[in-house]
Amino acid sequence: MTALSHPRIGLDRTGHHVSPLQDELCARRRDILVRMDGCDDLLAYVRTPVRTRILCLTKIGREEHMNALRAGHIYCRSLSYYKTIEGPPLPFQDAHEGLRGIYQAAKVEVRLQPKGRPPVVLNAETGLTGQVIVSADIANPVFCVHAIHTGEWTDRRFGEEELDAFSSYLQVPESMNKFGTHVWVITNGDEFVKRLRDAAARQNVRVFGSLVKYVDPSRVHGGIPREMAPFVKRDAFKDEREYRFVFSSTRQLPDPFVLDVGQLADISVVANIEELRRDWRIGFADVEDESGS
């Protein structure tokens, strides 16, 4: 048997803990009221710790943008930016970014109150189907990276016959090519997080990080607190395996927000993504089994 040898990085090991971003949800969204009738399945799912080991953080994009990151220029956009982009759809566009709730049609009632007119009620009896998805506009800047982590292989012992399958799971998915031709690979996660937090602190900015949790809209029901919203997405985006850093301050941060953390050439590399896949290697450490053999 073999056990995975992996670098330790200064990120939350469960991908679960998130500090509050100071805002609370207002239950009323314009003139639309959502009344929940059922259990907090979505909240319970989101609060369940993710059992995984983060091995490496990467980002895929255009070569010049990846080199800018290696030079220490961390370019961030507000979470709301990703849902309000105009024009043809882009790979990172998500109309439901800032997810606050998913409500199954059989368990909700949507009431529209036009000014000076009787209310319009939508529910399962009047033809409401699928889900009601609620999202919030969140102005906090966010820096998104692709996390290579063990996922379903975590704490699992396996033999050489499954090594190829494990290696394939850790690969950056082919679907990520939509973001660009090059990949920025952080080789020292602890040091990267330290420099990121130190640079933010110099500007009186706080940083919160977590793995993104992906949910199947057809299988959950309920709402989640605003501070969790940046870290929950629909499973249509699960191939992105995101780890997000969210920035918060007592002042309004600009959009875009660029944090200069200093040169990162000593702890990161930029490579062509196809070359990375071709040269991909996994390091293992031999361990003794329980019998000591």
Question: From start to end of 136-186, where are the E strands?
Answer: 141-149, 182-186
- Through-space distance between the first and last CA atoms of the chain, rounded to whole angstroms: 11
pLDDT band at 79 (very low <50, low <70, confident <90, very high): very high
| Rounded-to-integer distance, Cα 86 and Cα 88, Å | 7
| Rounded-to-integer distance, Cα 104 and Cα 127, Å | 13
pLDDT at 142 exceeding the cut of 60: yes
pLDDT band at 285 (very low <50, low <70, confident <90, very high): low
Bridge partners for 57 per DSSP: 147, 186
Q: Which of 262, 235, 257 is nearest to 245 (CA)?
A: 257
What is the average per-residue pLDDT within 50-59?
92
Q: Which one-letter amino acid corresponds to residue 199?
A: A
Average per-residue pLDDT for the chain:
82
Q: Which of 254, 41, 241, 249 is nearest to 150 (CA)?
A: 241
Q: Give the model's pLDDT for residue 21.
A: 32
pLDDT at 13 exceeding the cut of 50: no
Residue/partner pairs of 167-175 with CB below 8 Å, 24 or more apart: 167/280, 167/282, 170/55, 170/282, 171/277, 171/280, 172/58, 172/60, 172/146, 172/148, 172/273, 172/276, 172/277, 173/239, 175/239
Torsion sign across C-alpha atoms 223, 15, 142, 95: negative
Three-state DSSP state, 200: helix
Block residue for tokens 């889900």:
131
Q: Structure pTM?
A: 0.79
Three-state DSSP state, 265: coil
pLDDT band at 283 (very low <50, low <70, confident <90, very high): low
Block residue for tokens 């629909």:
234
Question: From start to end of the chain, where are the E strands?
Answer: 2-4, 32-36, 54-61, 73-78, 99-104, 108-112, 120-122, 131-135, 141-149, 182-186, 206-211, 213-215, 222-223, 232-234, 242-248, 257-260, 268-272, 284-286
What is the average per-residue pLDDT within 145-160?
91
